Structure 1
Amino acid sequence: MIDALTALVAPLGVLKDAELLTGGQFATTYRVTLADGRRVIVKTAPTGTDQLLAYEHDLLRAEALVYEMAASVPELKMPQVLLTDFTRTLLPSDALVVSHLPGVPLVDAGFGPADPRTAAAERGTGEVLAALHRLTGPAFGYPCGRQASSWAESFTGMVDELLDDAARWSVPVPAADVRAVMSRHATVLADVVRPALVHTDLWAGNLFVDPSTGELLGVIDPERAFWGDPLADLVGIDPMGREPGTPAVLEGYGPLDVESPSARTRMELYRMRLCLVMMIEITPRKFEGDWVEPHRTAVTANLHRALDALA
């Protein structure tokens, strides 16, 4: 692997050291130090597709596309794309090389709920989301996947793909209930008329902060982004929660409808979708450990809470 990484980063410099980073469940990521002292991040996609959900194909290409769009919007605080290799010749899968961000992941910063640094990070998150959602796509859907002219059609297709994934891996999900609430609430999806860029996965592990102040310094991993409803990002921050973000996130964001019946219903639909993702991926990913069954139980309960709210 070192030889492949050396060849990959050669246009940037001579590889001195490569450190495998942990914490992600999709890609393989390395922190590479070059001979001149610069550090870069190398991210590689899974080599096999048999463990991927339908929407997870070509995610690294989507991530590169989002970073390239973000390059002209410094408020998004995303890394700079330095190299891409989608030929799958140096490595058996897609590879992306980006700049190394300052700060530490918010999940590792050790801030408590009442710490003012937590509020600072959350306000910064709201500001980033507002800037991200001002970007408009050509259609609704995944940047490198299926797209549609309406959000209702696109989101319905996303959910249908997940139900197909569940059937493929024999994961028991309440498919009939999911389809029933999708049919019942199709009209509220029509309230979304502009395909905004949605990160979908802004949990604390994808936010880099200044450990002394809580200032948000960087945002990573937009690989699962889609063009759709900005409210989906409030669910993505905390899919197991029941509220649309924290007061600090909403303060940083600015004016945003999170209280109307349409907004509340749409967020329950997005929570339902994310719970389906988290339930289904356990099987093909072959998750192991004492955490798996409590996680499955919690996600299942949250899915049913969403379905009950939508019924």
Structure 2
Amino acid sequence: MDFQPIERPAHAFQQPVTAAQLQAVCHRVFGPGGRVSSATELGLGMYNTTFRVAVEGQERPVIIRFAPEPGRQLRSEREFMRNEYATVPHLAVIAPLMPRVIAADWSHDLVGRDYLVQTLLDGVPAAEGLRAHPRPSWTGFYRRIGEIAKTVHAVRGPAFGTVSQAAHATWSQAVIESLHDIAADLDAANLEAADIRKTAELAAEHHAVLDEITEPRLLTGDLWTVNIMIAANAPEPVITGVFDLDRTSWGDPAADWPIRMASAKQDERLAFWESYGEPERGPAAVWRSRVYEMRHLGAVRLEHHRHDDAGAVGRSYEAGAAVLAALT
């Protein structure tokens, strides 16, 4: 086997998988003849450990993703891979863009971690491939993201919360619980969580504003350039695939990550709104958007801490102070 893992420090969040473990997975999924000829770890993701694997007898390589060990998963990031798997039927509206699940295994008897085997999407990661195109051509790319987000947001759900555990009758309950989970994770990481706790208090005090959202809609959780494939060698950036939507939930579309990212800068991404439609800008919607921003900042803070980016952690507190001041 040509085995090419990424060398990481022993304390790194993304823990290694051995060649023998990969081979054992492929024997289970593809049978005794499923011999691995090559396995290359992919480095764009920051949560799961992901390999592109060529298996004898298979026409195309496959993607094998390993979730973090249960003990390494945060309270606010519990069983993301299982959540992604539970979301597959609801993402039928964008099925041509999604990888197909070949196998899912939560038994932990081969690796001690959840894993998914999926088909390989065509194209190149947008986070890298966009740079090959002049910026004026990016507008069509962002317009297409708006179309995808709008399509997903039209899917209705049974209750509020993560797709795999939609347990809340009201939107405020789901938001407040998620803020408490993030604060608990910050505590466990020895990071200050006062701004997130204050946001939870304000959300509880003004729950009626959150509960103006009465219909759970499907949120992608993480739809943006890092989870999109574009066509290779095309004259313009054309989206060919969407992947790793493991943070999906039922809630207010305005709380979704692509809405936040489309609003972050006044550049080519403004084309997002041409296809998605202009966001609501009334006082209640603005107040809710600030709660959502604090929730995003708390989640991003944990991710930066996990990857030892102290500067970005500090900047999250500066940004949070400004948002919290406007929220109160």
Compute the TM-score of the two structures, normalised by the length of structure 1: 0.88
**Residue aligning to 2:11:** none
Mean Cα deviation higher: 57-66 or 258-267: 258-267
For the residues of structure 1 that align with 2:297 and 2:44, how far apart are their CA atoms? 20
**Residue aligning to 2:228:** 207
Structure 1 residue 183, shift from structure 2 partner: 3.5
RMSD: 2.6
**Residue aligning to 2:243:** 220
- Helix, strand or coil for the counterpart of 1:147? coil
Structure 1 residue 31, shift from structure 2 partner: 0.5
- Helix, strand or coil for the counterpart of 1:162? helix
Q: Does 1:39 align with 2:61?
A: yes
For the residues of structure 2 that align with 1:309 and 1:112, how far apart are their CA atoms? 39
For the residues of structure 2 that align with 1:18 and 1:141, how far apart are their CA atoms? 36
Q: Does 1:262 align with 2:284?
A: yes
- Name whichever structure is richer in helix by fraction: 2
Structure 1 residue 264, shift from structure 2 partner: 2.0
**Residue aligning to 2:125:** 105
Cα distance per residue 1:147-192 (max 9 Å; x no partner): 2011111111111111222223321122453234323442221121
- Does structure 2 retain, via aligned residues, the 8 Å contact 1:139–1:195? yes
**Residue aligning to 1:57:** 78
For the residues of structure 2 that align with 1:196 and 1:122, how far apart are their CA atoms? 21
For the residues of structure 1 that align with 2:238 and 2:76, how far apart are their CA atoms? 33
Matches within 5 A, 1:85-164: 85-111=105-131, 115-145=135-165, 147-164=167-184
Structure 1 residue 48, shift from structure 2 partner: 4.4
For the residues of structure 2 that align with 1:166 and 1:63, how far apart are their CA atoms? 24
For the residues of structure 1 that align with 2:310 and 2:23, how far apart are their CA atoms? 40
Structure 1 residue 96, shift from structure 2 partner: 0.4
Stretches of 4+ moved more than 4 A in 1? 234-237
The percent identity for this pair of structures is 25
For the residues of structure 1 that align with 2:93 and 2:134, how far apart are their CA atoms? 31
- Helix, strand or coil for the counterpart of 1:109? helix
Amino acid at match of 1:179: A
Structure 1: which 5+ residue stretches go unaligned? none
- Helix, strand or coil for the counterpart of 1:160? helix
For the residues of structure 2 that align with 1:147 and 1:256, how far apart are their CA atoms? 30
**Quick one: structure 1 residues 77 and 130, their matched pair in 2 at CA, closer, same or farther if it must change by over 3 Å?**
same
**Residue aligning to 1:196:** 217
- Does structure 2 retain, via aligned residues, the 8 Å contact 1:139–1:227? yes
- Helix, strand or coil for the counterpart of 1:111? helix
For the residues of structure 2 that align with 1:77 and 1:120, how far apart are their CA atoms? 17
Compute the TM-score of the two structures, normalised by the length of structure 2: 0.84
For the residues of structure 1 that align with 2:295 and 2:191, how far apart are their CA atoms? 15
